[in-house]
A and B are shown apart, each in its own frame.
Chain A
Amino acid sequence: MPDLIQYSLYVLLLPLLSFAIQIFFGRRLPRQGDFLATGLLAISLGISLVVFFAAFGQENFRQEWNFTWANLGTMKIQLGILLDKITAAMLMVVTAVSFLVHFFSMGYMAGEPRYAQYFGYLGLFTFSMLGIVLSNNLFAIYCFWELVGLSSYLLIGFYFERDSAAAAQKKAFMLNRVGDIGFWIGILMLFAQFQTFNYQEIYQNIADGKFAWGEGWLTVAGVLLFMGCVGKSAQFPLHTWLPDAMEGPTPVSALIHAATMVAAGVYLLARVFVILTPDALAIIAVIGAVTAFFAATIAITQNDIKRVLAYSTLSQLGYMVMGMGVGAFAAALFHLVTHAFFKAGLFLGSGSVIHALHHEQDMRYMGGLMKKMPITFATFTICLLALAGLPFFTGFLSKDAILAGAVGYANVEGGWAIVIPVLGFSAALLTPFYMGRQWFMVFFGENRADQKPPSDNHHHHGHGEAHHHGDVHESSPVMTIPLVILAAMSFFFVFSPNPLDGERGWFMQAIKTPQSVVLTNEEKSRLAAEVMTGALSGEIGKNLRQEKLAEEAHHAHGTVVALSVSLALAGLAFAYLAYLKNIGAVASPFVVISKMMNWFNDTFMEGAFVRGVGSLGVKFSEFSGGFDRLVVDGVVNLTATLSQIAGLLFRKLQTGRVQTYLALALIALIGYFVSKLI
Chain B
Amino acid sequence: MILTLITFLPLIAALVILLIPKERKQAMRWISLLAAAGQVALAFWIWKNYDPSLAGVDDASKFQFVERAAWFSVELGNYVVSADYFMGIDGISVAMVILTAIVALVGVGASWTIEKSVKGYFVLYNLMSTSMMGTFLALDFFLFYVFWEATLIPMYFLIGIWGGKNREYAAIKFIIYTLVGSVLMLLAMIGLYASVADPATGRNTFSLVAMANQQNFISGSALFPTAENHLLRTLAFFALFLAFVIKVPMVPFHTWLPDAHVEAPTPISVVLAGVLLKLGGYGLLRINFPIFPDIFQEYAWWIALFGVISIVYGAFCAIAQTDFKKMVAYSSVSHMGFALLGIAAVNSLGMSGAMLQMFSHGILSPMMFLLVGVIYDRAHTREMEKFGGLAKYMPIYAGFILVAFMGNLGMPAMSGFVAEAFVFLGAFSQEQTRILAVVGTLGILLSATYLLRAYRTMFTGERKPNAAYEVKGHHGEEHAHFHDWKGNIDMDGREIALLAPLAAIVILVGVYPAPVLDLMTPSLNKVAEILSAATNIALK
Contacts and interface: CB of A to CB of B under 8 A. Distances in A.
Nearest to A68: B514
Interface in B432-467: 434, 437-438, 441-442, 444-445, 448-449, 452-453, 455-456, 459-462
Contact of A185 (B347, B438, B512): B438
A535 interface: no
A72 B514 CA distance: 9
Contact of A170 (B177, B413, B453): B453
A672 B190 contact: yes
Contacts of A177: 444-445, 448
Given A70-B514, A73-B521, A188-B437, A170 B452 contact: yes
B375 interface: no
A147 B475 contact: no
A669 B517 CA distance: 41
Interface in A42-71: 69-71
B317 A69 contact: no
Contacts of A162: 461
Contact of A632 (B252, B318, B434, B456): B252
Interface string B176-200: 1101000100110011001000000
Interface string B69-104: 000000011110000000000000000000000000
Interface stretch (A82-90, A94-102, A601-609, A660-668): A660-668
Contacts of A620: 316
Interface stretch (A378-386, A474-482, A622-630): A622-630
Q: Chain A: interface residue count, which band? A: 35 or more
A72 B76 contact: no
B348 to A, nearest CB: 4
B386 interface: no
B412 A181 contact: no
Given A170-B456, A632-B252, A71 B521 contact: yes
B186 A161 contact: no
B467 to A, nearest CB: 14
A167 B456 contact: yes
B417 interface: yes
A70 B525 contact: no
Nearest to B526: A73
B377 interface: no
Given A73-B522, A661-B183, A677-B77, A621 B316 contact: yes
A640 interface: yes
Contacts of A144: 412
B79 A184 contact: no
A79 to B, nearest CB: 11
A174 interface: yes
B396 to A, nearest CB: 11
Interface string B422-433: 001100110000
Query: In terms of DSSP, what is the predominant structure of the interface of chain B?
Result: helix
B320 A73 contact: no
Interface residues of B, number: 72
A624 B411 contact: no
Interface in B161-179: 173, 175-177, 179
A621 B319 CA distance: 6
A178 B313 contact: no
B247 to A, nearest CB: 15
A70 B175 CA distance: 40
Nearest to B424: A188
B181 to A, nearest CB: 12
A456 interface: no
B462 A161 contact: yes
A154 B391 CA distance: 12
A184 B349 CA distance: 16
Q: Which one of B411, B425, B518 has the greatest number of beta carbons of chain A within 10 Å?
A: B425
Interface string B374-391: 000000000000000101
B392 interface: yes
Interface string A337-354: 000000000000000000
Contacts of B462: 161, 163
A191 B429 contact: yes
B222 to A, nearest CB: 8
Contacts of A669: 186, 190
Contact of A166 (B252, B444, B460, B522): B460
Contacts of A673: 76-77, 79
Given A174-B449, A621-B317, A150 B411 contact: yes
Contacts of B417: 143, 146
A203 B124 CA distance: 60
Contacts of B183: 661, 664-665, 668
A390 to B, nearest CB: 42
A75 interface: yes
Nearest to B352: A72
A485 interface: no
A414 B79 CA distance: 87
B184 to A, nearest CB: 11
A626 B320 contact: yes
A185 B255 contact: no
B412 A143 contact: yes
B476 interface: yes
Nearest to A665: B186
Interface string A434-457: 000000000000000000000000
Contacts of B513: 70
Contacts of A664: 183
B525 A74 contact: yes
A147 B425 CA distance: 20
Interface string B244-255: 000000011011
Contacts of A173: 448, 452
A192 to B, nearest CB: 5
A642 interface: no
Interface string B381-420: 0000000010110000000000000100001110001100
B456 A192 contact: no
Interface string B301-343: 0000000000001001111110000000000000000000000
A483 B73 CA distance: 86
A307 B14 CA distance: 65
Contact of A625 (B76, B317, B411, B460): B317
A146 B21 CA distance: 55
B303 to A, nearest CB: 19
A160 B434 contact: no
B456 A72 contact: no
A636 B525 contact: no
Given A160-B460, A181-B444, A628 B411 contact: no
Given A163-B462, A665-B183, 15 more contacts: A71-B517, A144-B412, A157-B460, A163-B461, A173-B448, A173-B452, A177-B448, A180-B444, A185-B438, A192-B429, A621-B317, A624-B317, A625-B321, A632-B252, A636-B173
Interface of A: 69-75, 139, 142-144, 146-147, 150, 157, 160-163, 165-167, 169-170, 173-174, 177-178, 180-181, 184-185, 188-189, 191-192, 195, 464, 617-618, 620-626, 628, 632-633, 636, 640, 657, 661, 664-665, 668-670, 672-673, 676-677
23 contacts: A143-B413, A160-B461, A161-B389, A166-B460, A166-B461, A173-B448, A174-B452, A177-B448, A181-B441, A185-B441, A188-B437, A464-B475, A618-B319, A622-B320, A624-B313, A625-B321, A633-B255, A640-B173, A665-B183, A665-B186, A672-B194, A673-B79, A677-B79
Pairs A-B, 6 closest by C-beta atoms: A625-B320, A143-B412, A621-B319, A166-B460, A624-B316, A160-B460
Interface of B: 76-79, 173, 175-177, 179, 183, 186-187, 190-191, 194, 251-252, 254-256, 313, 316-321, 347-349, 352, 389, 391-392, 406, 411-413, 417-418, 421, 424-425, 428-429, 434, 437-438, 441-442, 444-445, 448-449, 452-453, 455-456, 459-462, 475-476, 512-514, 517-518, 521-522, 525
